[in-house]
Structure 1
Protein backbone atom coordinates (compact mmCIF):
# COMPACT_ATOMS: atom_id res chain seq x y z
CA UNK A 1 0.00 0.00 0.00
CA UNK A 2 1.31 3.45 -0.87
CA UNK A 3 2.51 5.77 1.85
CA UNK A 4 0.03 8.04 3.56
CA UNK A 5 0.90 11.75 3.65
CA UNK A 6 -0.71 13.91 6.35
CA UNK A 7 -0.55 17.70 6.04
CA UNK A 8 -2.41 20.92 6.71
CA UNK A 9 -4.78 22.12 4.00
CA UNK A 10 -4.07 25.23 1.96
CA UNK A 11 -6.45 27.57 0.16
CA UNK A 12 -5.76 25.59 -3.04
CA UNK A 13 -7.26 22.45 -1.46
CA UNK A 14 -10.65 23.84 -0.51
CA UNK A 15 -12.71 22.89 -3.57
CA UNK A 16 -11.29 19.38 -3.40
CA UNK A 17 -12.13 19.16 0.31
CA UNK A 18 -15.72 20.30 -0.24
CA UNK A 19 -16.21 17.75 -3.04
CA UNK A 20 -14.59 15.07 -0.87
CA UNK A 21 -16.98 15.69 2.02
CA UNK A 22 -19.95 15.03 -0.28
CA UNK A 23 -18.57 11.53 -0.87
CA UNK A 24 -16.90 10.65 2.43
CA UNK A 25 -18.57 12.66 5.21
CA UNK A 26 -21.80 11.65 6.90
CA UNK A 27 -24.23 14.57 7.08
CA UNK A 28 -23.67 18.22 6.28
CA UNK A 29 -22.84 21.36 8.17
CA UNK A 30 -23.97 24.95 7.83
CA UNK A 31 -20.30 25.77 7.14
CA UNK A 32 -19.88 23.28 4.29
CA UNK A 33 -19.27 25.96 1.70
CA UNK A 34 -16.23 27.67 0.25
CA UNK A 35 -16.61 30.81 2.39
CA UNK A 36 -16.87 28.80 5.61
CA UNK A 37 -13.83 26.65 4.92
CA UNK A 38 -11.85 29.67 3.69
CA UNK A 39 -12.50 31.41 7.02
CA UNK A 40 -11.32 28.32 8.90
CA UNK A 41 -8.04 28.06 6.99
CA UNK A 42 -7.44 31.82 7.09
CA UNK A 43 -8.01 31.98 10.87
CA UNK A 44 -6.13 28.79 11.76
CA UNK A 45 -4.01 27.46 8.88
CA UNK A 46 -3.12 24.24 10.74
CA UNK A 47 -6.67 23.26 11.74
CA UNK A 48 -7.81 21.44 8.60
CA UNK A 49 -5.69 18.32 8.30
CA UNK A 50 -5.65 16.21 5.14
CA UNK A 51 -4.51 12.66 4.43
CA UNK A 52 -3.38 11.83 0.89
CA UNK A 53 -2.29 8.73 -1.00
CA UNK A 54 -0.66 9.10 -4.40
CA UNK A 55 -1.78 12.73 -4.40
CA UNK A 56 -5.45 11.83 -3.86
CA UNK A 57 -7.36 13.10 -0.85
CA UNK A 58 -8.41 10.10 1.27
CA UNK A 59 -9.24 11.70 4.62
CA UNK A 60 -9.82 14.90 6.58
CA UNK A 61 -10.18 16.11 10.12
CA UNK A 62 -10.64 19.58 11.56
CA UNK A 63 -8.61 20.01 14.75
CA UNK A 64 -9.79 23.31 16.20
CA UNK A 65 -8.29 24.81 19.33
CA UNK A 66 -9.79 27.94 20.86
CA UNK A 67 -7.18 28.32 23.59
CA UNK A 68 -9.40 26.45 26.05
CA UNK A 69 -10.78 23.34 24.39
CA UNK A 70 -9.69 20.99 21.63
CA UNK A 71 -12.49 20.24 19.16
CA UNK A 72 -12.55 17.62 16.41
CA UNK A 73 -14.87 17.91 13.44
CA UNK A 74 -15.20 16.38 9.99
CA UNK A 75 -13.22 13.21 10.52
CA UNK A 76 -13.98 11.68 7.14
CA UNK A 77 -12.28 8.85 5.29
CA UNK A 78 -13.05 7.93 1.70
CA UNK A 79 -15.10 4.71 1.66
CA UNK A 80 -12.43 2.93 -0.43
CA UNK A 81 -9.75 3.73 2.16
CA UNK A 82 -11.51 2.90 5.41
CA UNK A 83 -9.97 0.43 7.88
CA UNK A 84 -6.50 1.17 6.50
CA UNK A 85 -5.20 3.50 9.24
CA UNK A 86 -6.23 6.78 7.64
CA UNK A 87 -8.50 7.85 10.50
CA UNK A 88 -5.90 6.83 13.07
CA UNK A 89 -3.22 8.86 11.28
CA UNK A 90 -5.48 11.91 11.13
CA UNK A 91 -6.42 11.65 14.81
CA UNK A 92 -2.77 11.17 15.72
CA UNK A 93 -1.86 14.36 13.87
CA UNK A 94 -4.74 16.24 15.51
CA UNK A 95 -3.77 15.03 18.98
CA UNK A 96 -0.12 16.00 18.40
CA UNK A 97 -1.32 19.48 17.38
CA UNK A 98 -3.45 19.80 20.49
CA UNK A 99 -0.67 18.63 22.80
CA UNK A 100 1.78 21.12 21.24
CA UNK A 101 -0.76 23.92 21.80
CA UNK A 102 -1.25 22.96 25.46
CA UNK A 103 -4.58 21.19 25.02
CA UNK A 104 -5.67 18.80 27.74
CA UNK A 105 -8.68 16.97 26.34
CA UNK A 106 -10.16 16.55 22.89
CA UNK A 107 -13.83 16.31 22.12
CA UNK A 108 -15.44 15.21 18.89
CA UNK A 109 -18.66 15.98 17.08
CA UNK A 110 -20.08 12.58 16.11
CA UNK A 111 -23.53 12.01 14.63
CA UNK A 112 -25.67 9.78 16.83
CA UNK A 113 -26.92 7.79 13.85
CA UNK A 114 -23.44 7.08 12.44
CA UNK A 115 -22.71 3.69 14.03
CA UNK A 116 -19.65 3.14 11.83
CA UNK A 117 -18.10 6.32 13.23
CA UNK A 118 -18.91 5.24 16.79
CA UNK A 119 -16.74 2.15 16.33
CA UNK A 120 -13.87 4.21 14.87
CA UNK A 121 -13.98 6.79 17.67
CA UNK A 122 -14.16 4.08 20.31
CA UNK A 123 -11.18 2.26 18.81
CA UNK A 124 -9.23 5.54 19.01
CA UNK A 125 -9.93 5.80 22.74
CA UNK A 126 -12.84 8.26 22.63
CA UNK A 127 -16.14 7.67 24.37
CA UNK A 128 -19.50 9.41 24.55
CA UNK A 129 -20.16 11.77 27.40
CA UNK A 130 -23.90 11.29 27.77
CA UNK A 131 -24.47 14.00 30.37
CA UNK A 132 -23.83 16.72 27.78
CA UNK A 133 -26.03 17.70 24.88
CA UNK A 134 -25.00 20.15 22.18
CA UNK A 135 -27.24 23.19 21.84
CA UNK A 136 -27.07 25.16 18.60
CA UNK A 137 -28.36 28.38 17.12
CA UNK A 138 -27.68 29.31 13.47
CA UNK A 139 -26.37 32.85 13.22
CA UNK A 140 -27.25 35.38 10.53
CA UNK A 141 -29.77 35.15 7.75
Structure 2
Protein backbone atom coordinates (compact mmCIF):
# COMPACT_ATOMS: atom_id res chain seq x y z
CA UNK A 1 0.00 0.00 0.00
CA UNK A 2 1.33 3.41 -0.97
CA UNK A 3 1.34 6.07 1.73
CA UNK A 4 -0.80 9.16 1.38
CA UNK A 5 -0.74 12.71 2.74
CA UNK A 6 -3.63 14.85 3.91
CA UNK A 7 -3.69 18.55 3.00
CA UNK A 8 -6.11 21.36 2.32
CA UNK A 9 -6.85 22.32 -1.27
CA UNK A 10 -5.62 25.42 -3.08
CA UNK A 11 -7.42 27.24 -5.88
CA UNK A 12 -5.00 25.64 -8.35
CA UNK A 13 -6.45 22.22 -7.41
CA UNK A 14 -9.97 23.01 -8.67
CA UNK A 15 -9.81 21.32 -12.09
CA UNK A 16 -8.05 18.27 -10.67
CA UNK A 17 -10.66 17.99 -7.89
CA UNK A 18 -13.52 18.16 -10.41
CA UNK A 19 -11.93 15.42 -12.55
CA UNK A 20 -11.39 13.34 -9.41
CA UNK A 21 -15.04 13.68 -8.36
CA UNK A 22 -16.18 12.46 -11.79
CA UNK A 23 -14.16 9.29 -11.23
CA UNK A 24 -14.55 8.72 -7.48
CA UNK A 25 -17.73 10.43 -6.23
CA UNK A 26 -21.36 9.59 -6.83
CA UNK A 27 -23.85 12.27 -7.73
CA UNK A 28 -23.37 15.76 -9.07
CA UNK A 29 -24.07 19.26 -7.85
CA UNK A 30 -24.81 22.56 -9.55
CA UNK A 31 -21.64 23.83 -7.88
CA UNK A 32 -19.44 21.30 -9.71
CA UNK A 33 -17.42 23.77 -11.70
CA UNK A 34 -14.14 25.61 -11.31
CA UNK A 35 -15.91 28.75 -10.06
CA UNK A 36 -17.78 26.80 -7.38
CA UNK A 37 -14.68 25.01 -6.10
CA UNK A 38 -12.47 28.11 -6.12
CA UNK A 39 -15.18 30.11 -4.35
CA UNK A 40 -15.34 27.44 -1.64
CA UNK A 41 -11.56 27.59 -1.15
CA UNK A 42 -11.51 31.41 -1.14
CA UNK A 43 -14.36 31.58 1.39
CA UNK A 44 -12.99 28.84 3.68
CA UNK A 45 -9.43 27.75 2.84
CA UNK A 46 -9.60 24.84 5.32
CA UNK A 47 -12.86 23.34 4.02
CA UNK A 48 -11.70 21.18 1.13
CA UNK A 49 -9.42 18.46 2.48
CA UNK A 50 -7.54 16.22 0.06
CA UNK A 51 -5.59 12.97 0.26
CA UNK A 52 -2.69 12.58 -2.16
CA UNK A 53 -0.35 9.72 -2.96
CA UNK A 54 2.73 10.37 -5.08
CA UNK A 55 1.13 13.55 -6.43
CA UNK A 56 -2.14 11.79 -7.36
CA UNK A 57 -5.41 12.83 -5.77
CA UNK A 58 -6.85 9.73 -4.06
CA UNK A 59 -9.47 11.20 -1.70
CA UNK A 60 -11.46 14.27 -0.73
CA UNK A 61 -13.93 15.60 1.78
CA UNK A 62 -15.53 19.00 2.16
CA UNK A 63 -15.62 19.93 5.84
CA UNK A 64 -17.79 23.03 5.88
CA UNK A 65 -17.98 25.00 9.11
CA UNK A 66 -20.24 28.03 9.32
CA UNK A 67 -19.90 28.67 13.05
CA UNK A 68 -23.10 26.70 13.71
CA UNK A 69 -22.98 23.47 11.72
CA UNK A 70 -20.19 21.08 10.87
CA UNK A 71 -21.22 19.79 7.44
CA UNK A 72 -19.53 17.00 5.51
CA UNK A 73 -19.83 16.63 1.75
CA UNK A 74 -18.04 14.85 -1.06
CA UNK A 75 -16.24 12.19 0.93
CA UNK A 76 -14.77 10.20 -1.93
CA UNK A 77 -11.86 7.83 -2.49
CA UNK A 78 -10.56 6.49 -5.80
CA UNK A 79 -12.12 3.05 -6.31
CA UNK A 80 -8.71 1.36 -6.55
CA UNK A 81 -7.63 2.94 -3.23
CA UNK A 82 -10.70 2.14 -1.10
CA UNK A 83 -10.39 0.19 2.15
CA UNK A 84 -6.88 1.55 2.79
CA UNK A 85 -7.74 4.04 5.54
CA UNK A 86 -8.01 7.10 3.29
CA UNK A 87 -11.65 7.92 4.09
CA UNK A 88 -10.95 7.44 7.80
CA UNK A 89 -7.97 9.79 7.65
CA UNK A 90 -10.00 12.41 5.78
CA UNK A 91 -12.83 12.16 8.33
CA UNK A 92 -10.37 12.43 11.19
CA UNK A 93 -8.90 15.62 9.68
CA UNK A 94 -12.41 17.05 9.20
CA UNK A 95 -13.52 16.15 12.72
CA UNK A 96 -10.38 17.63 14.27
CA UNK A 97 -11.08 20.83 12.35
CA UNK A 98 -14.64 20.94 13.63
CA UNK A 99 -13.74 20.24 17.25
CA UNK A 100 -11.02 22.92 17.21
CA UNK A 101 -13.60 25.41 15.89
CA UNK A 102 -16.17 24.49 18.54
CA UNK A 103 -18.29 22.12 16.47
CA UNK A 104 -20.54 19.78 18.41
CA UNK A 105 -21.81 17.38 15.75
CA UNK A 106 -20.95 16.44 12.20
CA UNK A 107 -23.71 16.28 9.61
CA UNK A 108 -22.96 14.26 6.47
CA UNK A 109 -24.77 14.55 3.14
CA UNK A 110 -25.05 10.97 1.85
CA UNK A 111 -26.88 9.84 -1.27
CA UNK A 112 -29.90 7.73 -0.37
CA UNK A 113 -29.06 5.00 -2.90
CA UNK A 114 -25.37 4.69 -2.00
CA UNK A 115 -25.43 1.61 0.25
CA UNK A 116 -21.63 1.34 0.33
CA UNK A 117 -21.45 4.88 1.69
CA UNK A 118 -24.12 4.08 4.31
CA UNK A 119 -21.94 1.24 5.62
CA UNK A 120 -18.83 3.45 5.68
CA UNK A 121 -20.56 6.29 7.54
CA UNK A 122 -22.06 3.85 10.06
CA UNK A 123 -18.65 2.27 10.65
CA UNK A 124 -17.26 5.76 11.31
CA UNK A 125 -19.86 6.31 14.05
CA UNK A 126 -22.44 8.34 12.11
CA UNK A 127 -26.14 7.46 12.26
CA UNK A 128 -28.93 8.23 9.84
CA UNK A 129 -31.43 10.75 11.13
CA UNK A 130 -34.76 9.91 9.50
CA UNK A 131 -36.81 12.74 10.97
CA UNK A 132 -35.16 15.36 8.72
CA UNK A 133 -35.31 15.81 4.97
CA UNK A 134 -33.27 18.10 2.80
CA UNK A 135 -35.21 20.84 0.98
CA UNK A 136 -33.44 22.63 -1.85
CA UNK A 137 -34.05 25.50 -4.23
CA UNK A 138 -31.52 26.34 -6.95
CA UNK A 139 -31.01 30.09 -7.30
CA UNK A 140 -31.20 31.82 -10.66
CA UNK A 141 -27.77 32.82 -11.86
CA UNK A 142 -27.24 36.47 -12.79
TM-score by length of 1: 0.98
Question: 1:8-65, CA deviations, whole angstroms, 9 ceiling, x for partnerless residues?
Answer: 0001111100000000000101101111111100000000000011111000000000
Taking the TM superposition and a 5 Å limit, the aligned residue runs for 1:57-96 are 57-96=57-96
Aligned pairs, how many? 141
User: What residue number does 1:26 align with?
Assistant: 26
Q: Mark the runs of 5 or more structure 1 residues left unpaired by the alignment.
A: none
- Runs ≥4 residues deviating over 2 A: none
Corresponding residue SS for 2:27: coil
Corresponding residue SS for 1:76: strand
Q: CA RMSD in A?
A: 0.6
Alignment of 1:11 onto 2:1: no
Taking the TM superposition and a 5 Å limit, the aligned residue runs for 1:121-136 are 121-136=121-136
For the residues of structure 2 that align with 1:34 and 1:113, how far apart are their CA atoms?
A: 27
User: What residue number does 1:112 align with?
Assistant: 112
For the residues of structure 2 that align with 1:13 and 1:30, how far apart are their CA atoms?
A: 18
